[in-house]
Structure 1
Amino acid sequence: MKRFNETNYLIENHTYSVEEISRDEITLLNWNIQKKNNFSNWRNEFKTLLDKYNPSIILLQECQFKKGLESLLFSEHYGFIFAPNFIDLFKNLHSGVLTASHGKHSFSEVTKSHAFEPFIKVPKIFLSTKYRISQCDQELLVINIHAINFVGFWKFISQVQQLEYNIKSHNGPVILSGDFNTWNKKRSKILDKIITGIGLEKVRFNNSYSKNIKKFLFFNTLDHIYFKGLDIDQNPKALKTTNSDHNPLFVRFKLTP
């Protein structure tokens, strides 16, 4: 019996608390949460992060959709879009990327990789959402990605080129964030070359925080955040956790005047 099935649908909750996001405070929390040791412990830590930092946008990768997560987001006044790329038929669990926000999205789109992960035979995806910004005619494009992993270099490039196309077609500020599976220098360099080549900057973390960002074999960083048309308002943070093998990343932006 086949264990993993590709999915072609979204799970959404539209309990957004505001119609647009503030131009002066665009706060992002990014976290790959798959290898959480205990859901209850993770949920408690996640709630603590939400209460402390009050992010306006939350991006989760390798998210397994559970009612406990849905109820927490609802209680904290977040609407969300969950985009699973597969369902585990043995456990009846969906897994994918989730984008939550206080502000209502005006657009959403899932883009599947051309290549499939060889072991589970499903594509990887990224989720694009757009948001209205206060006192601004342009919209913010947010892309949440968990990049293709166990494939050759050119198949990785193919997905980065899909990102490039989506970003180039948008006229306005951009946040691109997630787990890019850049487990070697070759992948990291081509990602930086293509994404910075279309005008995005990379969020840089100071030494006290950069050591907390998930790395492959202690060398190559997997999680990245890129941005365009925004300014970083405070020092970005990579926050230590014991509830996932990736640490959450927090950045406070504001719209460039």
Structure 2
Amino acid sequence: MMFKKHAFKFITFLVLLVVAIAGYLFYSLTIFSPVNIHFSSTPNLTYHPIKKQDELMCYQAEQPLPEITQKTFRLLVWNLHKGQDAGWQETLERFAQERDVLLLQEVLNTQELAAQYSSRFSTALYASAFAYLQQQSGVEILSQFAPHFYCAGAKSEPWIRIPKVGAAMSVPLAHGQALLLVNVHLINFEMYPTAYEEQLRTLMQLVAQHQGPLVLSGDFNSWSGYRMAIIRKLITEFGLVEVSFAQDHRLRFLGNPLDHVFVRGLNVLNATTEPTESSDHAPLLLEVELAD
């Protein structure tokens, strides 16, 4: 009888502890709806909101922008793992050398990358849909070129309700063309990927509407055959080509790589990855040129 009483007290204590922890997490978590967007450019340009597309928010430049005349572009795609691993600053600095665009995932607002790299990248687009203890996590694009429009959107994880975010910008090229850059961090915690496909299809609206060259990249959380099938179907539908890497150190789960780069209207001059202890994801480094 005494044992049952102590066991009941212990179970009650555990339940109250779990409820207290869950309550603390709930009240420490802030969900942004719509997605929280921070955009900066040098010189300071003016943008106005344009027609909303499903779960995307988009903004258009109010002034004409200079065309980009260069033909080749060097890109870095990397999940920073929220800066939890030692040496990420030095590693990012090394990988960012002579890059035209950085497409980053799991970036904290407290890392202040836009300010840190303002002398090297004139444009920064940061998008986040949640904050925990007032610390935001999201995706960021740092670019040497200002966009004539940019977009961002989010989709909530079905189980944990914490949103994942995607962002995009389109930069003007010569002869009225544009280069579209899409940076994704897709839903992770879902067994049958219904919301996963919805999030990806929403972002693919931008791809469908774009006529010129483009890069679709990021952390796709593509850890199952179902997810890979959805990705392959969509890239085939929209005429994209997957980039293969000469040295492939991408993070894998159940044998599937989680990070990808897809292109259209671009020739891949080189593409590689580097092993690192500064994140759980290896950085993807590539150089592309405009196709004739």
Bucket of the pairwise TM-score, normalised by the shorter protein? 0.7 to 0.9
8 Å CA contact 1:16, 1:77 repeated in 2: no
Residue 84 in 1 paired to residue 128 in 2?
yes
| Distance (whole Å) between structure 1 residues aligned to residue 250 and residue 89 of structure 2 | 20
Q: What secondary structure is seen at the aligned counterpart in 2 of 1:240?
A: coil
8 Å CA contact 1:9, 1:84 repeated in 2: yes
Q: 1:16 to 1:102 in 2, by over 3 A?
A: farther
Residue 43 in 1 paired to residue 89 in 2?
yes
Residue 143 of structure 1 is matched in structure 2 by 182
Amino acid aligned to 1:162: T
Residue 100 in 1 paired to residue 142 in 2?
yes
Once structures 1 and 2 are overlaid, which stretch shifts more, 21-30 or 135-144? 21-30
Residue 163 in 1 paired to residue 199 in 2?
no
Residue 288 of structure 2 is matched in structure 1 by 253
Residue 237 of structure 1 is matched in structure 2 by 272
8 Å CA contact 1:20, 1:104 repeated in 2: no
Higher percent of residues as helix: 2
Deviation of 1:141 (Å): 1.0
Residue 9 of structure 1 is matched in structure 2 by 36
Once structures 1 and 2 are overlaid, which stretch shifts more, 174-183 or 17-26? 17-26
Residue 25 of structure 1 is matched in structure 2 by 72
When normalised by structure 1's length, the TM-score is 0.87
Deviation of 1:19 (Å): 4.4
Deviation of 1:16 (Å): 6.5
Which deviations, in whole Å up to 9, do the C-alpha atoms of 1:41-97 show, x marking residues without a partner?
Answer: 21111111222xx11111010111225523321132442011012111x2x211000
8 Å CA contact 2:158, 2:195 repeated in 1: no
5+ residue gaps, structure 1: none
Q: 1:42 to 1:165 in 2, by over 3 A?
A: same
| Distance (whole Å) between structure 2 residues aligned to residue 11 and residue 50 of structure 1 | 21
8 Å CA contact 2:76, 2:101 repeated in 1: yes
Q: 1:215 to 1:242 in 2, by over 3 A?
A: same
Residue 131 in 1 paired to residue 156 in 2?
no
Which deviations, in whole Å up to 9, do the C-alpha atoms of 1:122-178 show, x marking residues without a partner?
Answer: 322211110012x33111111100001112322222122213322111121111000
Amino acid aligned to 1:160: L
Residue 242 of structure 2 is matched in structure 1 by 202
The CA RMSD measured in Å over matched residues stands at 2.1
Deviation of 1:38 (Å): 4.2
Which deviations, in whole Å up to 9, do the C-alpha atoms of 1:206-246 show, x marking residues without a partner?
Answer: 3xx12x011114x110000001111112x201112110000
When normalised by structure 2's length, the TM-score is 0.77
Q: How many residues align?
A: 244
Residue 159 of structure 2 is matched in structure 1 by 118
Q: Percent identity?
A: 28
5+ residue gaps, structure 2: 1-23, 45-64
Deviation of 1:103 (Å): 0.6
